[in-house]
Amino acid sequence: MPVPESPVTISVGDLQVSGLYARPDNPFATLVLAHGAGAGMEHPFMGGFTQALNDDGVATLRFNFPYREAGRKFPDRPPLAIATWRAAMEEASARAAAHSDTGPLWAAGKSFGGRMASMAVAEGMPAAGLVYLGYPLHPPGKPEKLRDEHLYGLTLPMLFLQGTRDTFATPELLEGVVARIGPNATLSWYDGGDHSFAVAGKKRSADEIGSSAAAPVTAYLRSQAAAPPWHGTHS
């Protein structure tokens, strides 16, 4: 049976945003997940992704940014998005502590959500590691406008899961960025995937796509669980 999700309300200053928390029995890790710019936490991709993680022993908390909660289309500016990330991680940490879960607490996000997670960590937010589901390295067709400067100071484990047809990250440029970050960064290509991880000629629902994207993520989390003690550091 699917692991049930419980509604969560997260306070961000004077604002409140919604979340969904799911905890399988004896999770080996907890992953907090933020949505991309164009869809909220309720998108089927997000549901399929978190359900697959739950089935493989990962507790999850997915949440909305304030703009999405308010029904607006334009994403929040970084200060508010980062504050929301901090609040969501604190909520997940408190829930893990309440269940005596001692596994690592990861931050992950689809596109915009992942980029904001990395900026939050660069500004001091604790995390065991980061997972990027389609990192928006540059706007489509504008490879000269890279969004990479803050990444080079991050020393925690990072997984870049990227579609090979993603127009938000020219393969050669992303490979160069990951190489410059260093050995703590891992790049995993999703063959044929676009920015939504859809593969041309392969008919799948959004939740099925999300579920398929979870497999390399759980494999990475398990590989890191056997690594040296967690630091969740930045520099």
Residue 232 forms part of a structural domain: no
Tell me how many helices (H) and strands (E) the chain has. Answer: 6, 8
pLDDT at 225: 82
Residue 93 forms part of a structural domain: yes
pLDDT at 229: 47
DSSP type of residue 193: B
Residue 70 forms part of a structural domain: yes
Residue 179 forms part of a structural domain: yes
Number of residues written out for the chain = 235
The number of folded domains in the chain is: 1
Residue 185, φ and ψ in degrees, nearest 5: -105, 135
The residue range of the domain holding 76 is 5-225
Residue 46 forms part of a structural domain: yes
pTM: 0.94
Residue 233 forms part of a structural domain: no
d(CA 88, CA 68) in angstroms, rounded, equals 15
CATH number at residue 148: 3.40.50.1820
Residue 234 forms part of a structural domain: no
Residue 230 forms part of a structural domain: no
d(CA 128, CA 2) in angstroms, rounded, equals 26
- The tokens for 173 are 């440029």
What residues form DSSP beta bridges with 18? 9
E strands present in 144-194:
158-163, 185-190
pLDDT at 1: 85
Q: Are 101 and 128 in contact (CB under 8 A)?
A: no
Tens of pLDDT along the chain (235 residues) come to: 889 999 999 999 999 999 999 999 999 999 999 999 999 999 999 999 999 999 999 999 999 999 999 999 999 999 999 999 999 999 999 999 999 999 999 999 999 999 999 999 999 999 999 999 999 999 999 999 999 999 999 999 999 999 999 999 999 999 999 999 999 999 999 999 999 999 999 999 999 999 999 999 999 999 998 765 444 333 3
